[in-house]
Amino acid sequence: MAKPGHAWNRSRLLEEDEDEEDPVDAMISRTGCMAQHRELQECMAARQDWRHCQPQVRAFGECMARRQ
């Protein structure tokens, strides 16, 4: 049980997490492949199966390979 005066607040913690950029997103953004990554994420959210998103998987992979 939290001590009286304890300042931990779950809603504040969640708000702080939303304000911080995800390190993976930051890395992908630096590569210039964020558009391909977002398209892949949207396909995955819609189809729920990466096998149906092969064009997006290939486009993202090719973009990342060009950046390395």
User: What does each of the 68 residues of the chain score in pLDDT, given as a tens digit?
Assistant: 555 555 555 555 555 556 678 898 999 999 999 999 999 999 999 999 989 999 999 999 999 999 87
Q: Is the dihedral of CA 56, 58, 62, 65 positive or negative?
A: positive
HSE (side-chain half, CA atoms, 13 Å) at 28: 16
What is the reported pLDDT for 10?
Answer: 54
Residues in CB range of 8: below 8 A, 6 or more apart? 2
Q: Rounded to an integer, what distance in angstroms lies between the CA atom of residue 61 and that of residue 66?
A: 9
What DSSP character marks residue 21?
P
Radius of gyration of the chain from Cα atoms? 18
What is the reported pLDDT for 2?
Answer: 52
What is the reported pLDDT for 31?
Answer: 94
